[in-house]
Amino acid sequence: MPVKNVTRRKTLGQVVVCMGCCCGRTDKGHPDVPVDWLKSEWRRTLPKSIHLTVSGCLGPCDASNVVLLLFGDNPVWLGGLTRFEHYQAIADWADASREIDSLLPLPAVLEPFRMERFHNLEVPLEV
pLDDT of 27-78, one tens digit each? Answer: 999 999 999 999 998 888 766 788 899 999 998 888 889 999 998 778 999 9
pLDDT recorded at residue 1: 60
pLDDT recorded at residue 32: 94
Task: State phi, psi for 20 to the nearest 5 degrees.
Answer: -90, -135
From 85, 65, 89, 88, select the one nearest 77 (Cα to Cα): 65
Rounded to 5°, the CA angle 31-33-35 comes to 165
pLDDT single digits (tens) 68-110: 999 877 899 999 999 999 999 999 999 999 899 899 999 999 9
Burial of 99 (0-12, 13-18, 19+ CB in 10 A): exposed
Element (H, E) at 115: strand 114-115
For residue 25, give the amino acid letter: R
pTM given for the model: 0.85
Say yes or no to pLDDT of 125 above 80. no
For residue 1, give the amino acid letter: M
